[in-house]
Structure 1
Amino acid sequence: MAAARAGVQPVETLDVWYEANTPAGHGPELHSALRAVATAVKAIAARTARAGLEGLYGAAGTTGGGGDSQKKLDVVANDIMVAQLSACPAVGVAASEEEEAPLALGSGRYAVVFDPLDGSRNIDVAIPTGTIWGIYERPAGASPEAAVLQAGSKLVAAGYGLYSSATMLVLSTGSGVAGLTLDSLLGEWVVTHRSIKIPDRGQIYSLNDARRWEWPDGLRRYIDTIQRGEGEHPKQYSARYVCSLVADVHRTLLTGGWAGNPRPHLRLVYEGNPLAMLLEQAGGSGSDGKRRVLSIAPSALHQRLPLFLGSARDIAELESYGDVQQGAKTYEL
């Protein structure tokens, strides 16, 4: 093979990355499912970028599967994901945060769970949003619901799309975490972060400080301690909070620390499990404040939980305070 010319590097695309990261026992079928998700993320990115031009800001006037009010782009993003997955023979079941029940798509080997547009309340002010997804192998004879109500430890692949200054696809097939950036000139996903490793401790925490007065004592003591620089890490922590889970997790994955919500607000199936897989594959942790997220067997499609994702030592220190889970409550904003 001829040597690469000076200054010219080969482009590592999603297809090339998958060839080197194919999990044992899987192959072209999983590749096909991943490509369907990746194509959907491209399409959602395009519609998100044009939301103001296409009249896609604002409420849709409908509610999603979990009972939340939908934005127009929630509906659009969900339709895009369902359309792409329906066209993929490898996908037999699709389950969305925006749907009441899983969709039976055929006899395909895989079940895909997803939050089509996380952080959609931020769309109207052009703050980063994302798509969260996970892929399970469908057990033989399993109903569509049983296919997606599996513990996160059984995920075959997981990832998220990030819609920001760059469009990224961050994913894992069980052997580490990679980040790919959408090259608009090539129309291809290109590997830009070959092996993402979260620092074992950071200096940033991410949650809504405005709810401090309702936090449990353990969480309040923990935050007070790390803000003063009196925790296990001798430096003072700072808060960074976008209120878009994908954006907050992406920063955390690259710089360390943790992001989360102490209320039982985030969905185990559609958000908690896929993101916890990514954090663990990058060397971090995913916890509900007491338990490893990936060990929790879901009992309902829209089951919610407190969620803390981040550096392993930071999450362990947080858990050591014991009382860090806030009771359920819905806020106006």
Structure 2
Amino acid sequence: MQSATFYQLVNFRPKLQTFQSKTPTLFSTRRMASVSGFRRMALDGSSSSSSTVASDDGFVTLMEYMGKGGGIGVNDDLVVLIDHLQYACKRIAALVASPFNHSIGKQTSLGDFPNTGSDRDAPKPLDILSNEIILSSLQKSGKVVVMASEENDTPTWISGDGPYVVVTDPLDGSRNIDASIPTGTIFGIYKRLEELEDLPTEEKALLNSLQSGNRLIAAAYVLYSSATILCITFGSGTHAFTLDRSTGDFILTNPSIKIPPRGQIYSVNDARYFDWPEGLRQYIDTVRQGKGRYPKKYSARYICSLVADLHRTLLYGGVAMNPRDHLRLVYEANPLSFIVEQAGGRGSDGKSRILSLQPVKLHQRLPLFLGSLEDMEELESYGDIHQKVNPGYEV
């Protein structure tokens, strides 16, 4: 039996309402946004572009951004869904930062939750809690037909009339959480496949979850670090919103992110250098010495948190990679590749564009390389960059 603490944390609600400070805050207190057609706006009703829309105090929230048509196909249903997802991520952010996660992290009984990976990737209590928080939010949204999660063996059928499919890694990097290393949530959103309606529910759920990445209509990651940052794309650019903890709003801080065409950083576990194929070793040796196509010496930066390593790469350029068959195509590679491509970069398995791949299994694994276009082109030119030897790992 799981302890009462576990169930208390599942139902944990962060306090996100505005509070009065004795000193001036960075952001002025926001007035409550009105709700019209499920689009929460506190704007003057003008038709200015999504990149320049601002409320009375000069800041744009995620809900305001979407309410003013912040992306292709951002309709009322999608606004409602994103509203529930961003609320779930606020709850996870509060949970990750809570002093109680230390005690819950020591629990070992996970009930009937499956282990979908190796012992290193076995579900942790906080993974399960995050999974439950996201599932609950999706159920309440009324907009999702099925959720596929890294934490579940099979997809979860939610509603017979939901228009969307959500795939998610609820808490990436959780095995390092005791050391306060950044963690993250990843999710992708697809339209429901109407042509599958006559199939049995289990088959419909699986096939809806195995759509190729080029069918994504939205994808996002949320970074839980010194700031909580939600980086999202609706297929018309990549934008980052930072959580203002005084109001509970995600504020637009990085509109229309453009990853530099070339960076000077590579992110990979260098301890596996002698397990790498010759092509990957040659590439790393070359750029470290400043003998590549870019005549500067590259630096290694590796957090061992996929969302954190990608976020830095997105802002500064370079390459973030895991060259072995480890990361999941459905939950990690597809959503993150969509985000990177919308910022002008590339996502690849070392040979092919990630978004062109057709998933054949729900928990299918593959190598993943994400980054600046010129860096990715140079890396792929070395050919043999897939790590085939995996000592100490189970795949």
TM-score for both structures, normalised by structure 1: 0.94
Q: Which moved more, 1:218-227 or 1:22-31?
A: 22-31
Distance 1:254 1:59, change over 3 A: farther
Displacement of 1:327 after TM fit?
1.4
Distance 1:58 1:235, change over 3 A: farther
Aligned 8 A contact 2:74 2:234 in 1: no
Cα deviation per residue 1:28-66 (whole Å; 9 max; x = unaligned)? 111111111111110000000015466132464444334
Alignment match of 2:172 (pick from 108, 118, 141): 118
In the alignment, structure 1 residue 18 sits paired with structure 2 residue 18: no
Alignment match of 1:223 (pick from 275, 281, 284): 284
| Higher alpha-carbon Rg | 2
Q: Which amino acid aligns with 1:132?
A: I
Structure 2: any 5+ residue segments left out of the alignment? 1-43, 45-55, 197-203
Alignment match of 1:275 (pick from 323, 336, 343): 336
Alignment match of 1:192 (pick from 229, 234, 253): 253
Cα deviation per residue 1:253-297 (whole Å; 9 max; x = unaligned)? 000001010001000000000000000000000000000000000
In the alignment, structure 1 residue 132 sits paired with structure 2 residue 186: yes
User: SS at the partner of 2:368?
Assistant: strand
Aligned 8 A contact 2:95 2:101 in 1: no
Q: How far, CA to CA, are the matches of 1:326 and 1:141 in structure 2?
A: 39
Write 1 or 2 for the structure with the bigger share of strand: 1
Cα deviation per residue 1:215-274 (whole Å; 9 max; x = unaligned)? 000000000000010001100000000000000000000000010100010000000000
Q: Percent identity?
A: 50
In the alignment, structure 1 residue 144 sits paired with structure 2 residue 205: yes
Name the counterpart of 2:158.
Answer: 105
Q: How far, CA to CA, are the matches of 1:252 and 1:14 in structure 2?
A: 23
Q: How far, CA to CA, are the matches of 2:266 and 2:255 in structure 1?
A: 25
Q: How far, CA to CA, are the matches of 1:238 and 1:74 in structure 2?
A: 32
In the alignment, structure 1 residue 75 sits paired with structure 2 residue 128: yes
Question: Following TM superposition, where does structure 1 have runs of at least 4 consecutive aligned residues deviating by more than 6 angstroms?
Answer: none
Aligned 8 A contact 2:227 2:242 in 1: yes
Aligned 8 A contact 1:202 1:255 in 2: yes
Name the counterpart of 2:147.
Answer: 94
Q: How far, CA to CA, are the matches of 1:125 and 1:254 in structure 2?
A: 24
User: SS at the partner of 1:236?
Assistant: coil
Q: How far, CA to CA, are the matches of 2:348 and 2:379 in structure 1?
A: 10
Q: How far, CA to CA, are the matches of 2:146 and 2:280 in structure 1?
A: 38
In the alignment, structure 1 residue 47 sits paired with structure 2 residue 71: no
Name the counterpart of 1:5.
Answer: none
Displacement of 1:306 after TM fit?
0.2
TM-score for both structures, normalised by structure 2: 0.80
User: Aligned-residue CA RMSD in angstroms?
Assistant: 1.7
Displacement of 1:25 after TM fit?
4.4
Distance 1:328 1:19, change over 3 A: farther
In the alignment, structure 1 residue 65 sits paired with structure 2 residue 116: yes
Structure 1: any 5+ residue segments left out of the alignment? 2-7
Q: How far, CA to CA, are the matches of 2:375 and 2:347 in structure 1?
A: 11
Distance 1:20 1:201, change over 3 A: farther
Q: Which moved more, 1:10-19 or 1:171-180?
A: 10-19
User: SS at the partner of 2:320?
Assistant: strand
Distance 1:26 1:13, change over 3 A: closer
User: SS at the partner of 1:201?
Assistant: coil
Distance 1:204 1:58, change over 3 A: farther
